[in-house]
Amino acid sequence: MGNGRAQCRRLGQVLAEACAEALPKPRLEARSCAESAKARWTVAHFFEGVCFGLFLSMSIVTVQLGQCGNQIGFEVFDALFNDSHCSRGLCSKRENEAYQASCKERFFSEEENGVPVARAVLVDMEPKVINQTLSKAACSGRWKYGQHSCFCQKQGSGNNWAYGYSVHGPRHEESIMNLIRKEVEKCESLSGFFIIMSMAGGTGSGLGAFVTQNLQDQYSSALKMNQIIWPYGTGEVIVQNYNSILTLSHLYRSSDALLVHENDAVHKICVKLMNIKQVSFCDINQVLAHQLGSVFQPTYSGEGLFHYRRNPLGDLMENLVPHPEFKMLGVRNIPQMSENSLAYSTFTWAGLLKHLRQMLISNAKMEEGIDWQVRPPLSGLPPLGKMSVNKETHFNTSIANLVILRGKDVQSADVGAFKDPALYTSWLEPVHAFSVWKTQRAFRKYEKSAALVSNSQSLVKPLDMIVGKAWNMFASRAYLHQYTKFGIEEEDFLDSFTLLEQVIASYCNL
Amino acid sequence: MGRRRLRRPDPADAARALPEAIAALSRTLPAAPSPETFRRAKFDHPEAAPALWRLLFRVLSPLPADGASASLALEAQARWVKSALRSQGYPRRALVQLPDDGSQGGRELLLALAWLLARGPLPERLLTQSHVRLGDEIPVCECEALASPGLPAPSVEAEGCVDIRHLQWLMGKLRLQWRNLMASQQEQCALLGKIHSYTRGCHSDRSLGHLSVTETELLRDPEGGRQLLRRLEMENAQLEAALEWRHRELIFWQWMDTVLDACSPEASPLTFLPRIPEPGPGAARLLARELQTLQEELREAAEARRAAWQAVVGGHGPEWRAARRALQTAVAQDLAALQRAWEQDEGRARPHGPRRLVLFFRTRGLWDFSSLSRDQTCTPCTGRSSWQHVGSSVFPAARRTRAHALGARSLSRWTSREALLSIFITTERARMACWLQGTPGGPDAGEGQWSPSSAQTQPPVWDQALPGPGCEQTGAVGAQRVPSPSDLLFSVRGSRFRARRPGAAAPSGRLDRPRAMPEG
């Protein structure tokens, strides 16, 4: 059986080399965006709508799955809303309004009494978390979830991926997809789906994989980005590695991009940067929401242009994940600190970008403890030489990077350091691999802030670890019967292993 | 150039008429170059060259020139013109050898322009491209032209070897851009649908019933009306010039003969020879051979499996064999019917070109089709007779709609209870493919069995376009149907659906639904 993993790995490598991944064929798809039966607007109102509609951004429907997904989803909406209604935008009033409108159109829909309603669908198999989430949103009083946008049941999945995927999924497919459809129909124009879920649990990951697959079937031309939460290395669930590989391999087939957050890394950020003594899940989720907000809030659509990007999800994917074998994205933020210390800090763009770049190449998740010894390999070395250098210095090669800058004097920020060809894989020019988005509007209370979304080798190591652990368990057939009981057979596991080995091999051979 | 032989003008007239003919031509062309340019070009004066490069660039560009493309550097325009002409099959080598800076080549460019003029209805094409659009137009193409190989795609020879991952990356980018484009298109459709439904009843032409975007814009902004008038006058002038050019064409061609004579014969071969494709590198052949071997192996393996399988199921008795035979016959019949329907369609002229988009509203709770004749309901802007259909469809998922389609209903009778907002065109082929994927009609689907109760529990959200006038069946079905609160509806030609029902609705269900198969 130990030989088996080697075999899988070989197979994965062969596949990677052959680049056998066939591009999924685009399919014609039609979609209803809104219903006009109830549209009894006056013509004047309508014109207003059209005028705005042309400049506002395309909407994203968020699907929150499981306990983790729902808790994070709430924090994300809260962060987005609070930021866009934050008084200290450090920009003109008009610009602030455009920013607000853009954010609102993307993530919220207006209800009749003026309270924005999140474009979200909440799904969990236990009512507890959903009820908490709904009441928290209602308590804030500033925004809320839709009245009929949640789905819950009485019984969870017991951390069994197979149960979520093969039992809950098919059983509740219709109700869940109906909820999503209703949400989609509320959008004037749909950009895509943002699916928040954990990777190692039962409901979020199993059902999440199932729902993503269905979305791929039904909305094949809409974009799908999955936000997945990587479990703690010292996990609390014995089968988390099984669940993880099953989730990852299924999402790799049906999703367009996987935005990965590691619990360990975010935990460290909470302890070291935010100075939190007793880190709770709520703190972790807030950091996560902050990172996501800094990526998804509006930015200008181009250098020197002052209107906001209409389809950020589409643009982000176009820049970062066009290749079907490289779909894993990581987010890094700078600066990130508690509000108390923020008051006593000033930043320069040059300093922030220098740190951010070093965080990227040395594969650090936060500003503290960056290894400044890591240098990019000399460009000009043949790819093979480059690889061996990488091994020595743990240099993190990127495929593509997107830097998002928000705040004062953003036009003066120089991102030339990110355009170094040595940072990127040999088969992609920096012109294709690097992009930068900017806006003068400050994000939350940070006068200047930068976020980096990168498609790089940084996730290979944790992925390899998870696959290795899962393989060891699989080799001794541990806990397999819990999966075969619900129709996930050994073959499915082997498929997942092969696919992930291929991903690892592809990322290693950059 | 049939007309050339018909009229033979007096040479004295010709001397006077030539400037007029050229003036007419130049007024027809975009940006109206001065007629003097043509005369200078004949003698290869360098000052004529830049204007002609620009003219050719505008003539050759597939889209009406916008600010961005018109402001391209002359050098880029010249390069583009060269490659576009080359890809259209322009044979003269002298043009390619001209310098890229666009400073020379008046005569060669004149010849190229004449070649384009002689080759097809160039002024007509340009006029169609730039005509003022009052209605909302959508291009419709149901003809076979798309399937035929078009112009050879311009290719770039890469230096050295290219990493396949780079190509995959670019390919993926293209795919994502395609999806973005599609999302924008759908948004545009949704907005168009809104404009049409909100302005319903505003149009003086009752058969149209609603305003188009341009018309709505005119209402909002009276200044726009004056601008539109100016544009229409300009277009009129261009049309008159085109007419005049047609009358005087012959003189121009005689003059072009003298231009051709003025070209000095060159030593190098004048024309391109067709290039013989080089045999691919050995690696490709190797790969092909490997693939072939693999294919053979696969086939052998599959055959062995099939034999084993047949041995296993062979013992299932006669009723199983009978069921299988019945199934095979049914499938063969379906296929034949499909083929017939397809072939019948082949003969029909398929619409091609832009058409005005018109939304139909339902009146008084019943589908009012019988009263609408094809010509009344839709005014084709190009004056061609048949109205294409404008598909309407709003639903992403064939799969869900299948589940929702009230169990068993033939496509043509699906209707929407809600208004339909997004429009897009499905070509005949796409619809056929869609139908093949999954038709909700089952063998048991009788006429008019639409059950209101099931519709209430599961509102059919698919907004299926209804067949247009001329399909008697639909009229009947529409009248029988329980009125539904739908507000609007797009007309669609229903011939495909009719063709698909040769006699009975039976074949539709069995092709794709295994569950309808006889079980043995």
Half-sphere exposure of B314 (CA within 13 A, CB side): 7
How far the first Cα of chain B sits from its last, in Å, is 70
CATH number for the domain formed by residue range(s) A339-457: 3.30.1330
How many percent of chain A have pLDDT more than 90? 51
Instruction: Please tell me the distance from the alpha carbon of residue A487 to that of residue A299, in angstroms, as a whole number.
Output: 45
Rg of chain A, C-alpha, whole Å: 22
Q: Which residue has the higher pLDDT, A250 or B487?
A: A250
Given this model, what pLDDT does residue B347 score?
Answer: 63
Residues of B in contact with A428 (CB under 8 A): 166, 169
Given this model, what pLDDT does residue A418 score?
Answer: 92
Nearest chain B Cα to A399, which residue? B169
Tell me: pLDDT of A50 over 50: no
Contact B187 A189 (CB under 8 A): yes
Nearest chain A Cα to B402, which residue? A218
Closest CA to A123 of A201, A34, A33, A222: A201
Tell me: pLDDT of A57 over 70: yes
Closest CA to A84 of A286, A287, A297, A337: A297
- Averaged pLDDT, A177-206: 91
Nearest chain A Cα to B459, which residue? A178
Instruction: Please tell me the distance from the alpha carbon of residue B158 to that of residue B273, in angstroms, as a whole number.
Output: 23
What are the angstrom distances between the C-alpha of A141 and each of A81, A176, A212, B435? 12, 26, 31, 48
Instruction: Please tell me the distance from the alpha carbon of residue B321 to that of residue B307, in angstroms, as a whole number.
Output: 16
Mutation choice for B interface testing from A15, A19, A31, A190 by most B CBs within 10 A = A31
In the structure encoding, which two tokens stand for residue B187, read together? 């948004």
Closest CA to B496 of B350, B396, B371: B350
Eight-class DSSP state of A509? T
Instruction: Please tell me the distance from the alpha carbon of residue A67 to that of residue A383, in angstroms, as a whole number.
Output: 44
Fold (topology level) of A57-329: Rossmann fold (3.40.50)
Cβ(B390)–Cβ(B351) under 8 Å?
Answer: no
How far from chain centre, in Å, is Cα B431?
15
Domain boundaries, chain A: 57-329, 339-457, 462-508
Given this model, what pLDDT does residue B272 score?
Answer: 59
Q: Is the peptide bond before A335 cis (omega within 30 degrees of 0)?
A: yes
Q: What 3-state class would DSSP assign to A403?
A: strand
Angle at B315 between CA B311 and CA B321, to 5 degrees: 95
Mutation choice for B interface testing from A27, A36, A506 by most B CBs within 10 A = A36
Eight-class DSSP state of B7? -
Residues of B in contact with A36 (CB under 8 A): 193-194, 197, 419, 421, 487-488
Handedness of CA A276, A280, A281, A282 (dihedral sign): negative
Residues of A in contact with B187 (CB under 8 A): 33, 53, 58, 188-189
Instruction: Please tell me the distance from the alpha carbon of residue A206 to that of residue A166, in angstroms, as a whole number.
Output: 8
Residues of B in contact with A33 (CB under 8 A): 186-187, 190, 394, 421-422
Residues of B in contact with A41 (CB under 8 A): 198
Torsion of Cα atoms, A203 then A207 then A208 then A214, to 10°: -170
Torsion of Cα atoms, B401 then B407 then B413 then B414, to 10°: -30
Sorting pLDDT into bands at 50, 70 and 90, what band is A491?
very high
Residue A379 gets the label, from left (phi > 0), alpha (psi -120 to 50) or beta, of beta
Backbone angles phi, psi at B428, to 5 degrees: -55, -45
Residue B317 gets the label, from left (phi > 0), alpha (psi -120 to 50) or beta, of left
In the structure encoding, which two tokens stand for residue A118, read together? 């999140």
Instruction: Please tell me the distance from the alpha carbon of residue A198 to that of residue A164, in angstroms, as a whole number.
Output: 12
Q: Which residue has the higher pLDDT, A369 or B479?
A: A369
Q: Closest approach of chain B CAs to the CA of A427, in angstroms?
A: 6
Mean pLDDT by 10 residues, chain B (520 residues): 48 70 84 81 83 85 63 82 85 82 83 87 81 77 53 56 88 92 86 85 79 83 86 90 88 86 63 54 82 93 89 73 90 92 72 72 39 34 31 33 34 30 33 40 37 37 36 34 31 30 34 35
Q: Which residues pair with A446 in a beta bridge?
A: A443
Given this model, what pLDDT does residue B454 score?
Answer: 38
Instruction: Please tell me the distance from the alpha carbon of residue A110 to that of residue A145, in angstroms, as a whole number.
Output: 11
Burial class (CB in 10 A: 0-12, 13-18, 19+), A222: buried
Instruction: Please tell me the distance from the alpha carbon of residue B146 to that of residue A408, in angstroms, as a whole number.
Output: 52
- Averaged pLDDT, A270-286: 90
Residues of A in contact with B420 (CB under 8 A): 32
Nearest chain B Cα to A218, which residue? B397
In the structure encoding, which two tokens stand for residue A317, read together? 């994917």
Residues of B in contact with A314 (CB under 8 A): 176, 179-180, 183
Given this model, what pLDDT does residue B455 score?
Answer: 36
Contact B172 A322 (CB under 8 A): yes
Mutation choice for A interface testing from B176, B219, B487 by most A CBs within 10 A = B176
Eight-class DSSP state of A269? I
Whether A57-329 and A339-457 share one fold: the answer is no
Contact A322 B403 (CB under 8 A): no
Count of CB pairs separated by less than 8 Å, A with B? 152
- Averaged pLDDT, A428-434: 90
Given this model, what pLDDT does residue B47 score?
Answer: 82
- Longest pairwise C-alpha distance within chain A: 72
In the structure encoding, which two tokens stand for residue B42, read together? 């004949």
Average pLDDT of the residues of chain A? 83
Torsion of Cα atoms, B139 then B143 then B146 then B149, to 10°: -140
Instruction: Please tell me the distance from the alpha carbon of residue B270 to that of residue B44, in angstroms, as a whole number.
Output: 18
Which residues 62-121 on chain B approach chain A with CB closer than 8 angstroms?
Answer: none
Given this model, what pLDDT does residue A13 score?
Answer: 59
Angle at A78 between CA A75 and CA A81, to 5 degrees: 150
Residue B396 has its nearest CB partner, among A219, A321, A432, at A219
Contacts of residue B452, defined as CB under 8 A and 6 or more positions apart, other chains included, come to B482
- Averaged pLDDT, A267-276: 90
Torsion of Cα atoms, A250 then A254 then A258 then A261, to 10°: -40
Residues of B in contact with A20 (CB under 8 A): none
Cβ(B145)–Cβ(B427) under 8 Å?
Answer: no
How far from chain centre, in Å, is Cα A285?
13
Q: What 3-state class would DSSP assign to A418?
A: helix
Residue B421 has its nearest CB partner, among A34, A46, A219, at A34
> B220 — contact with chain A (CB < 8 Å)?
yes
Q: What 3-state class would DSSP assign to A142?
A: coil
In the structure encoding, which two tokens stand for residue A332, read together? 């890094």
Instruction: Please tell me the distance from the alpha carbon of residue A311 to that of residue A188, in angstroms, as a whole number.
Output: 13
Cβ(A287)–Cβ(A279) under 8 Å?
Answer: no
Given this model, what pLDDT does residue A483 score?
Answer: 93
Nearest chain B Cα to A22, which residue? B168
Residues of B in contact with A432 (CB under 8 A): 169-170
> B199 — contact with chain A (CB < 8 Å)?
yes
Sorting pLDDT into bands at 50, 70 and 90, what band is A1?
very low
Eight-class DSSP state of B83? H
Contact A32 B422 (CB under 8 A): yes
Given this model, what pLDDT does residue A235 score?
Answer: 73
Residue A311 has its nearest CB partner, among B178, B183, B399, at B183
Contact B166 A26 (CB under 8 A): no
Half-sphere exposure of A199 (CA within 13 A, CB side): 28
Which residues 406-445 on chain B approach chain A with CB closer than 8 angstroms?
Answer: 418-422, 424, 426, 430, 434
Instruction: Please tell me the distance from the alpha carbon of residue B329 to that of residue B323, in angstroms, as a whole number.
Output: 10
Length of chain B: 520
Instruction: Please tell me the distance from the alpha carbon of residue A233 to that of residue B374, in angstroms, as a whole number.
Output: 69
Handedness of CA B82, B85, B88, B91 (dihedral sign): negative
| Pair type for strands B352-356 and B137-141 | antiparallel
Contact B187 A58 (CB under 8 A): yes
Contact B397 A218 (CB under 8 A): yes
Q: Closest approach of chain A CAs to the CA of B107, in angstroms?
A: 41
In the structure encoding, which two tokens stand for residue A481, read together? 């019967």
Sorting pLDDT into bands at 50, 70 and 90, what band is A317?
very high
Given this model, what pLDDT does residue B384 score?
Answer: 30
Contacts of residue A20, defined as CB under 8 A and 6 or more positions apart, other chains included, come to none
Q: Closest approach of chain B CAs to the CA of A190, in angstroms?
A: 7
Residues of B in contact with A502 (CB under 8 A): none
Instruction: Please tell me the distance from the alpha carbon of residue B373 to that of residue B360, in angstroms, as a whole number.
Output: 13
Backbone angles phi, psi at A448, to 5 degrees: -135, 135
Instruction: Please tell me the distance from the alpha carbon of residue A269 to that of residue A367, in angstroms, as a whole number.
Output: 9
Beta strand extents in A113-173 (DSSP E only): 116-118, 120-124, 144-145, 150-152
> B180 — contact with chain A (CB < 8 Å)?
yes
Residues of B in contact with A47 (CB under 8 A): 220
Tell me: pLDDT of A122 over 50: yes
- Averaged pLDDT, A103-113: 86
Mutation choice for B interface testing from A17, A25, A33, A42 by most B CBs within 10 A = A33
Contact A29 B397 (CB under 8 A): yes
What are the angstrom distances between the C-alpha of A253 and each of A13, A226, A249, A329, B397? 18, 12, 7, 16, 19
Q: Which residue has the higher pLDDT, B359 or A135?
A: A135
Given this model, what pLDDT does residue B452 score?
Answer: 38
Residues of A in contact with B393 (CB under 8 A): 30
Contact B421 A432 (CB under 8 A): no
Nearest chain A Cα to B200, which residue? A43
Nearest chain B Cα to A44, which residue? B220
How far the first Cα of chain A sits from its last, in Å, is 29
> B400 — contact with chain A (CB < 8 Å)?
yes
Rg of chain B, C-alpha, whole Å: 30
Q: Report the 10 Å Cβ neighbour count for B135.
A: 18
